[in-house]
Amino acid sequence: MRPDLRIVRNLGVSPMELRDGIQHYLQRKAARGARPNTIAAYASDLRHYAEFAERLGHGTLVAVQSQRHVARFLDDQHAQRIKPRSQARRLSVLRGFFQHAQREGWIGHDPTADEAVRFQAPRVIAPEMEELHAVVDAIPRTGALNLRDRALLRLALDSGMRISQCAVLDIPGVGSPFTVDLPRGLAHTLGKGGDAETKCLNERTVAMIEDWLAVRADIATPGHHALFVSQRGTRLCRGSLHTICKARGAAAGVPGLHFHLIRHRRGAMVIEACGDKVGQQFLEHSSLASTSHYGRHANNTTFAMLRDRADIDAHRRHA
């Protein structure tokens, strides 16, 4: 008899298997509104632990997992040269699973409680705003694909949308909750947590979207509602959006450009002009700590304000 099954019989603990428990956890997350991409990412991270537990051979019941198992899993990840950032993410997902397991009564303790992975997040260096404007300005003003890319990148730059938010947008007038309201200068899209989000657009951005909509029918498949479509006439996927952004950036002398860099620069601009709280709302961050990473680009503005309004010798000069 397997050792973990003997424990089940002798101690009366839950017979829930790791893989079955993981499936239950993911189903519960989905029922609570987690997005498909989130569920897929969680499933991948938890699968790594389940496979490790099977290789370890100490039992695959949730109830027999211990801190020693989690520590050895992290050691194994390190031996496989998995980056600390990825290790920390997998540990966080695993912690969420074991907390769920405790609530369900499958295990009486949290094996991840005393484990941690430290890492230094790399500083994001986003191009300056003028460089990003130059990327858009470098795109020719004729041709359906050029007008599409101008509208796409200008929308991303103005609104600070994530790539997934740009991808779900539909054309106006089709009853979609994720669309652009051009007369009011608004874009309604899908937030990271599944909630609807609204972004404001300025007149030049609206004009570029209108220019694209005027020629969109030349390549769009009849009856297809996506705002941004490929040469085949169907909705652009995330991979295609990444390719467009990178190619247009390279053509304008900004290599390695991607949507998050655009979002980073726009978010920093909002923080510089309006403060952290407005920046947090603009970027749709649940935590101000996340917004603070974007605010690192606001240092020069902060320094200027300190020198102007809080200089250490100001009171002496006035005296």
Q: Are residues 14 and 150 in the same domain?
A: no
- Statement to judge: residues 228 and 271 lie in one domain: yes
Please list the pLDDT of the chain residue by residue as tens digits (319 residues).
455 555 555 555 688 999 999 999 999 999 988 878 889 999 999 999 999 999 998 889 999 999 999 999 999 999 999 999 999 999 999 999 999 999 999 999 999 998 999 877 666 678 889 999 999 999 999 999 999 999 999 999 999 999 999 999 999 999 999 999 999 999 999 877 667 789 999 999 999 999 999 999 999 999 999 999 999 999 999 999 999 999 999 999 999 999 999 998 888 888 877 777 777 777 776 665 555 555 555 455 566 666 777 777 776 766 6
Q: For residue 61, what is the domain's CATH number?
A: 1.10.150.130
CATH number for the domain that contains residue 292:
1.10.443.10
pLDDT at residue number 191: 78
Q: Is residue 201 part of a domain?
A: yes
What string of DSSP letters covers 23-39?
A: HHHHHHHHHTT--HHHH
Domain assignment of residue 319, yes or no: no
269 lies in a domain?
yes
One domain for residues 97 and 198: no
Domain of 254, in residue numbers: 129-302
pTM of the full structure: 0.69
Q: Is 180:202 a contact under the CB 8 Å cutoff?
A: no
Q: What is the pLDDT of residue 153?
A: 97
Greatest distance between any 2 Cα atoms in the chain: 87
- Same domain for 25 and 152, yes or no, is no
**Chain centre to alpha carbon of residue 125:** 17
User: Which of 131, 103, 97 lies closest to 14, judged by CA?
Assistant: 103
pLDDT value of position 52: 96
Give the DSSP H or E segment for 179.
strand 179-181
State whether 142 and 93 are in the same domain.
no
> Does 286 lie in the same domain as 139?
yes
- Which among 167, 202, 165, 173 is positioned nearest to 283, based on CA atoms? 165
Instruction: With beta carbons less than 8 A apart as the criterion, state whether 235 and 167 touch.
Output: yes
Position 57 in a domain: yes
Q: What is the pLDDT of residue 134?
A: 96
Q: Which pLDDT belongs to residue 196? A: 79
Is 190 found in the same domain as 156?
Answer: yes
3-class DSSP assignment, residue 143: coil
Q: Are residues 47 and 165 in the same domain?
A: no
**Residue 111 falls inside a structural domain:** no
Residue 215 neighbours by CB under 8 Å, 6+ apart: 144, 147
Whether 249 is in a domain gets the answer yes
CB contact set of 278 (below 8 Å; sequence gap of 6+): 270, 271
Q: Is residue 122 part of a domain?
A: no
Q: Does an H or E element contain 181, and which?
A: strand 179-181
Residues 191 and 276 occupy one common structural domain: yes
What pLDDT is recorded for position 123? 67
**307 falls within a domain:** no
Measured at the alpha carbon of residue 243, what is the angle toward residues 128 and 232, in degrees to the nearest 5? 135
Residues 161 and 269 in one domain: yes
Residue 155 and residue 259 in one domain: yes
Amino acid at 64: V
Residues 74 and 151 in one domain: no
What's the pLDDT at 302? 60
* Total domains in the fold of the chain: 2
User: What angle (nearest 5°) sits at the alpha carbon of residue 174, between those of residues 170 and 176?
Assistant: 55
